[in-house]
Chains A and B, each alone.
Chain A
Amino acid sequence: MASTYVKDPAPAPAPPKLPDTGAGRSRARRIVDWLTAFSFTLPALVLFGVLVLAPILYAVYVSLFNWGGFGSPSDYVGLDNYSRLLRDPVFLGDLWRGLLLVLFSVCVQLPFALGMAVLLNQKLRGRALYRTLFFAPYVLSEVITGVLFSMIFAPEDGLADHVLGAVGLDGLGGLWFADQDYVLPTLFLVMTWKYFGFHMMLYLAGLQGIPAELHEAARIDGAGPWQRFRHITLPLLGPTIRISVFLSVIGAIQLFDLVWVVTQGGPDHHSETMAVTMFQFGFKRFEIGYASAISIGMFLISLVFALIYQRSVLRRDTEGALTTMRASR
């Protein structure tokens, strides 16, 4: 598969050799180099340690206790919270709903965003207006989006039902967010409305990087629009698509604010996500130990996905960049 930039096929250039002035000297030099590097990265390391590592480790620690957040944790229960997690129908449901949202996002939302991007990349009257319009929802805060759509899909007098009624359709009679079967699709609709503009922008940026000459050459060779899309646009958009899938999946795993504002996970847990369950247990029930176990679960799922994705899918894009894997080998 080709790439938007020309990759360097040769190994990364080796660091310039220091003049060899004796083993002891070079060793001292290396230590000094190491210390210099260390002292420059220290502030970042400290911040990372205090703000990222320490809370994660603390959450792991707390997740081993049955703790109400009162005083310090003392009721050690080992891995009980985790075994409870694996038997909790709500959490297992969260996993299933998370998977559905990820699949929906990747199979519906992203292709839709790509289609819009390709359309808006053409010479079109009012192109800038459309781009702004479609990107606008992404700028709105999630809470505002939530409030807005809970009015649009309101049980009585909701805009959605009025509009559908006006064109002769029945609508859902206000059951959008209020029915166990409709709530997840409706939520996904809102998510798509909110996020497709962002992915569209990513794709647009990617599309701008595809040289027009390639399309022109293909056209001269007799390639039709679909062939050109399939064999030029799609491959050259590869890195962008891979990043956008990554962001979309991580976003779906961590989805919280929108759900909280619109349904609080209801009706009867049918729109609950892992983050909502975690919030319920942590801040409503004050079962901090169990909530920590949920958050560790979320963390592990995100981490495993990120690592696998990074190593297998994003690898070809990151090679040659700062975190080159080939050079380290």
Chain B
Amino acid sequence: MSASTRAVTSVFGASSSSFSRRRFLGTASAVGLGAAGLSACSDSGSTTDSQGRTVVEWWNIQTTEPSKSVWPERAKAFEAAHPDVRIKLVTMENDAYKSKMTALTSSGKLPDIYHTWGGGVLKQQIDAGLVEDLTSSISSLTGTLVPASVKAYQFDGKTYAVPFDIGAVGFWYNKALFAKAGIQAPPTTWADYLDAVKKLKSAGITPIALAGKEKWPGMYYWAYLAMRIAGIDGMQAAADAKDFTGDDFVKAGEHLKELVALQPFQKGFLGAAYSTPTGEAAAMGNGKAAMELMGQWAPVVQADAGKGIGKDLGFFPFPAVAGGKGAQTDVFGGGGGYAVRKGAPKAAVDFLKFFMSAESDRILVSKSSMMPVVEDATSALTDPNLKLVSDALGKATGFQLYLDQAYPPAVGQEINDSVAALIAGSKSPEQVTRSVTQVAKSQ
């Protein structure tokens, strides 16, 4: 159960993450919600309690078990070793947290330690001068972490948050169906991949499950193709220049069109949701489709929406594209981390170092089903599927954060929308790059 709730959080983190996380204030303030948010932050000014202990506020979104108990337990463990510090947990539901943080950000006063997904939102807070630069204070910790896990929180060579969870997107496939179609090994190149799709098709198997209604699962294909062709640096350059019209991005669209032309998706995929009983995850979980491109939460949702395919489930990274600048080991994903507000007590950083020590991360992995972030904690991972994801992350040569978190929400949504139109056949690869660029430039 815990894993499934976590999965759902991850799904929202990846998909509708932009909903209210960033700029809900704009609409909220109109109805006075903003005022409530602003008044709430006044109590974060006091840093000592009645017993003279330094109070560190720790805003988190672990509202479900087991994290709900593991988090306070970690705080207690730290307090036991540091009697002069009190960690005050403020636990909020995902969406409530996002809207409250938007209000706090514009007021200029953040909690001492707060949850962040990194990317564009964190960058905004950093640019506003609200976030502590942790580069030197956690230097001893940084070396112990899985490199990909910190990427979302690093800007201009500086680190602004400590990760505690990390995930990645890749192909989840049904080994039995692949064997039935005569596919020996998971494809490693795009050409092989298209071949595999054709083989599955001719064996009468639906090659791919896709939630066309929700748009973001389709965006993963375009994003990964763009990563493989343009490379992580190319993605970054395009984001910086706000120009996605380059050949590499057009090619990404063309390759996706090749795939769509094979009609690989389940019947009625344009109306299918992700986690409903008739959606993408259910099609995989009930063995009706051979694969889906999805994050580390996929096995849990498959078993929840459908029956789950147990040992038949396998994972392979997105194939490489011939002549592309990106490697097959470049990973697309995201996770969660904790940032510290500018001027927070030193105990805040001390606590994060304690929280993400190898010993502590092992507890998070084994008890809270987080993905390991500290390399030494990887051994605590027992789920074979999550191990595959963890391996891919461990070997990652590059890391690209979910586009709707890395870019401003309007750009992320435009990518989702345009790619959905490409898959539906109403936009050409060039039109996709043009409309994304247009929105990026307007931001």
The answer to whether A71 touches B106, judged by C-beta atoms less than 8 angstroms apart, is: yes
- For chain A, residues 257 to 296, give those with C-beta under 8 angstroms from any C-beta of chain B: 263-264, 266-269, 280, 282-288
The answer to whether B23 touches A173, judged by C-beta atoms less than 8 angstroms apart, is: no
Shortest Cβ distance from residue B163 to the other chain A in the assembled complex, whole angstroms: 25
Known contacts being A286-B26, A288-B26, is A177 close to B271, with CB within 8 Å? yes
Binds B, one of A62-70, A96-104, A202-210: A62-70
Known contacts being A267-B212, A282-B27, is A68 close to B408, with CB within 8 Å? yes
The answer to whether B214 touches A264, judged by C-beta atoms less than 8 angstroms apart, is: yes
Known contacts being A266-B213, A285-B410, is A155 close to B271, with CB within 8 Å? yes
Shortest Cβ distance from residue B33 to the other chain A in the assembled complex, whole angstroms: 12
Q: Does A3 contact B (CB under 8 A)?
A: no
Which residues of the other chain, A, contact B26 by a CB distance below 8 angstroms? 67-70, 286, 288
Interface residues on A, range: 35 or more
Q: Does B190 contact A (CB under 8 A)?
A: no
Q: Does B184 contact A (CB under 8 A)?
A: no
Shortest Cβ distance from residue B104 to the other chain A in the assembled complex, whole angstroms: 12
Q: Does A179 contact B (CB under 8 A)?
A: yes
Alpha-carbon distance A32/B236, docked complex (angstroms): 71
The answer to whether A70 touches B268, judged by C-beta atoms less than 8 angstroms apart, is: no
The answer to whether A55 touches B30, judged by C-beta atoms less than 8 angstroms apart, is: yes
- For chain B, residues 379 to 437, give those with C-beta under 8 angstroms from any C-beta of chain A: 408-410, 413-414, 420-421, 424, 426
Contacting residue for B271 out of A67, A157, A176, A287, CB 8 A: A176
Known contacts being A156-B283, A157-B278, A263-B213, is A284 close to B409, with CB within 8 Å? yes
The answer to whether B413 touches A268, judged by C-beta atoms less than 8 angstroms apart, is: no
Closest to A174 in B: B268
Which residues of the other chain, A, contact B420 by a CB distance below 8 angstroms? 266-268
The answer to whether A178 touches B212, judged by C-beta atoms less than 8 angstroms apart, is: yes
As a 0/1 sequence over residues 60 to 94 of chain A, the CB contacts with chain B under 8 angstroms (1 = contact) are 00000011111100000000000000000000000
Binds A, one of B14-22, B333-341, B369-377: B14-22
The answer to whether B270 touches A267, judged by C-beta atoms less than 8 angstroms apart, is: yes
For the complex, would chain B's binding face be called helix, strand, loop or mixed by DSSP majority? Answer: helix
The answer to whether B268 touches A156, judged by C-beta atoms less than 8 angstroms apart, is: yes
Alpha-carbon distance A287/B439, docked complex (angstroms): 10
Contacting residue for A268 out of B267, B270, B443, CB 8 A: B270
- For chain A, residues 26 to 68, give those with C-beta under 8 angstroms from any C-beta of chain B: 55, 58, 66-68
Q: Please report the total number of B residues contacting A with Cβ < 8 Å.
A: 44
The answer to whether B106 touches A263, judged by C-beta atoms less than 8 angstroms apart, is: no
Closest to B273 in A: A150
Instruction: Please provide the 10 A-B residue pairs with the shortest distance between their CB atoms, ordered closest to farther.
Output: A69-B26, A155-B268, A178-B271, A69-B23, A267-B270, A178-B268, A268-B424, A154-B278, A174-B268, A177-B271
The answer to whether A286 touches B424, judged by C-beta atoms less than 8 angstroms apart, is: no
Q: Does A175 contact B (CB under 8 A)?
A: yes
Q: Does A218 contact B (CB under 8 A)?
A: no
The answer to whether A266 touches B413, judged by C-beta atoms less than 8 angstroms apart, is: no
Which residues of the other chain, A, contact B421 by a CB distance below 8 angstroms? 268-269
Q: Does A180 contact B (CB under 8 A)?
A: yes
Closest to B26 in A: A69
- 6 A-B pairs in the complex with CB atoms less than 8 angstroms apart: A264-B213, A266-B270, A268-B270, A268-B420, A284-B409, A286-B409
As a 0/1 sequence over residues 100 to 124 of chain B, the CB contacts with chain A under 8 angstroms (1 = contact) are 0010011000000000000000001
Could you list 10 further interchain pairs (A-B, Cβ under 8 angstroms) beyond the known A173-B267, A267-B424?
A68-B408, A68-B410, A70-B23, A151-B277, A154-B278, A178-B270, A178-B272, A263-B271, A266-B215, A267-B213
Alpha-carbon distance A213/B414, docked complex (angstroms): 64
Q: Which residues does A use to contact B, with CB under 8 Å?
A: 55, 58, 66-71, 150-151, 153-158, 173-180, 183, 263-264, 266-269, 280, 282-288
Contacting residue for A288 out of B23, B266, B443, CB 8 A: B23
The answer to whether A156 touches B271, judged by C-beta atoms less than 8 angstroms apart, is: no
Q: Does B25 contact A (CB under 8 A)?
A: yes
The answer to whether A155 touches B278, judged by C-beta atoms less than 8 angstroms apart, is: yes
Shortest Cβ distance from residue A179 to the other chain B in the assembled complex, whole angstroms: 7
Which residues of the other chain, A, contact B268 by a CB distance below 8 angstroms? 154-156, 173-175, 177-179
The answer to whether A68 touches B413, judged by C-beta atoms less than 8 angstroms apart, is: no
The answer to whether B20 touches A283, judged by C-beta atoms less than 8 angstroms apart, is: yes
The answer to whether A267 touches B271, judged by C-beta atoms less than 8 angstroms apart, is: yes
The answer to whether B271 touches A288, judged by C-beta atoms less than 8 angstroms apart, is: no
Q: Does B269 contact A (CB under 8 A)?
A: yes
Alpha-carbon distance A284/B23, docked complex (angstroms): 10
Q: Does B442 contact A (CB under 8 A)?
A: yes
- For chain B, residues 113 to 147, give those with C-beta under 8 angstroms from any C-beta of chain A: 124
Alpha-carbon distance A158/B105, docked complex (angstroms): 46
As a 0/1 sequence over residues 24 to 68 of chain B, the CB contacts with chain A under 8 angstroms (1 = contact) are 111100110000000000000000000000000000000000000
Alpha-carbon distance A263/B26, docked complex (angstroms): 26
Alpha-carbon distance A174/B413, docked complex (angstroms): 27
Alpha-carbon distance A165/B288, docked complex (angstroms): 21
Q: Does B276 contact A (CB under 8 A)?
A: yes
Alpha-carbon distance A178/B442, docked complex (angstroms): 32
